[in-house]
Structure 1
Amino acid sequence: MKEILVSLPYFGPISQFKELVNADKVWIEKEDNFQKQTYRNRMYIYGANGKLSLNIPIKHVPKTKVKVHQKYSEVKIDNDDKWQSVHWKSLKTAYQTSPFFEFYEDELAPLFSKVYETLYEFNMDCFETVLECLQLDLEKAYTFEYNKQPENISDLRNLINAKSLVEIPKYMQVFQEKYGFLHNLCILDLLFNEGPNAIEYLKSI
């Protein structure tokens, strides 16, 4: 039985879902600290001008003389910034001509209208929605303490690092003729372009 440990992203890169489809059980890290420059609050899509980063604004803890680590599950979203409408408009602009945007539109749209207090809660709903779109039935569990070196499990929490450069096999992308193939964008790019075939693509890489 293959068990993996992952951190919860904002939709998440294709490289993470490649691991998820080949796992028997996924442990979701709930006890880690929030870190910048990760997929926890950003995703990359293929926009009309190339690679586009969509970032969720968060409320930072006040600075003190002693460095304070903020627990990821407690990070609050800054909803004074109307980021949800901006992100949804960006997705529609980028993918409305893709083969399968309309196929998944009704499932994804509610995520960008409901108000969420915490980043973790929002990302969990995004994760569950993508699993439904992929028709991927995963056995899930959640950590109850932070373990730096877990045993008998594949620790893939590093896939949350947005700085990692990962190459994947090509599939058709909306603006590919203009800017070429962009590797390892968010899972939505694969869904909108490949539709129901996305799960087979993930299993094959």
Structure 2
Amino acid sequence: MQVITTLFYLPNLEYFTAILDKKEIILDGIENYQKQTFRNRSKILLANKVETLSVPVLGGNKNTKYREVRIDYNQKWKNVHLRGIQSAYGKAPFFEYFYPYIDQVFRKNHQFLFDMNLELLTVCLKLLQLNVKVSVREKEGQIADSMDIRGLLKAKASPGVYKFYQEKVYSQLFGVNFAPNLSILDLLFCEGTSAVSILKASQKK
């Protein structure tokens, strides 16, 4: 089955539990941009809190096509994000193996948010070793034999309210209490080769 999704920035675990068993991910390439969504934000676990990483954009609003939204490099967000990721996961078991792939994407200084997110998603799928096709939807119309999850994963949803994800505890570096549904980076850096089996166990039945 195919799944139609919105393209997010370093997506969370719920996103990956939703697409895990699908043969193809169809990204919406014609939608308008929406503020305060996962399109430009992701969550990681620091020593004393869950931190939201937010990519600043230029003029992104509901009248702008997502693919036309530019990243604002006048703000020093990239250094903040990379230092945050290094601080959060530098001592994680699989950091040294996976981080260079992520760092390489950031070094390209993509002009458009959509393009950067697409390459980051592609890298994450590669690191998870998921054999799934990724395509971009270029025109309106129904797509047969597909599941549409656009609009179902909300950044402002109530904590613990998930449609596709159920909390499956795995080893994290910080905190007494487990922090669920963080960016896929948390799971990759902490669990590495076990990531996919944990995602499968995290799928809501």
TM-score (normalised: structure 2): 0.89
Can you list the C-alpha shifts for 1:64-95, whole angstroms capped at 9, x where unaligned? xxx96111011001011121111001000011
Can you list the C-alpha shifts for 1:135-177, whole angstroms capped at 9, x where unaligned? 1121222212245x76642111124421234342111111132
Match of 1:157 in 2: 150
Letter in 2 for 1:129: V
Match of 2:122 in 1: 128
Match of 1:88 in 2: 82
Match of 2:15 in 1: 16
Q: CA RMSD in A?
A: 1.8
| CA distance in structure 2 between the aligned counterparts of 1:46 and 1:176, rounded to whole angstroms | 9
Match of 1:110 in 2: 104
Q: Does 1:195 align with 2:188?
A: no
Structure 1 gaps of 5+ residues are 62-66
The question of whether the paired residues in 2 share the 8 Å contact of 1:84 and 1:113 is answered with no
| CA distance in structure 1 between the aligned counterparts of 2:62 and 2:173, rounded to whole angstroms | 42
Letter in 1 for 2:148: D
Aligned-partner SS, 2:39? coil
TM-score (normalised: structure 1): 0.89
The question of whether the paired residues in 1 share the 8 Å contact of 2:32 and 2:62 is answered with no
Letter in 2 for 1:201: I
The structure-2 alpha-carbon separation of the partners of 1:78 and 1:134, relative to structure 1 and needing over 3 Å to count, comes to: same
Letter in 2 for 1:81: Q
Aligned-partner SS, 1:93? helix
| CA distance in structure 2 between the aligned counterparts of 1:171 and 1:31, rounded to whole angstroms | 37
Higher fraction of helix: 1
| CA distance in structure 1 between the aligned counterparts of 2:140 and 2:193, rounded to whole angstroms | 36
The question of whether the paired residues in 2 share the 8 Å contact of 1:8 and 1:28 is answered with yes
Letter in 1 for 2:51: L
Runs of 4+ in structure 1 deviating by more than 4 angstroms, as ranges, are: none
Aligned length: 196
The structure-2 alpha-carbon separation of the partners of 1:188 and 1:133, relative to structure 1 and needing over 3 Å to count, comes to: same
The structure-2 alpha-carbon separation of the partners of 1:201 and 1:145, relative to structure 1 and needing over 3 Å to count, comes to: same
Match of 1:78 in 2: 72
Can you list the C-alpha shifts for 1:80-112, whole angstroms capped at 9, x where unaligned? 112111100100001112111112122111122
Report how far residue 14 of structure 1 moved.
Answer: 0.4
Can you list the C-alpha shifts for 1:37-87, whole angstroms capped at 9, x where unaligned? 2110000000112110000000016xxxxx961110110010111211110
| CA distance in structure 2 between the aligned counterparts of 1:18 and 1:68, rounded to whole angstroms | 28
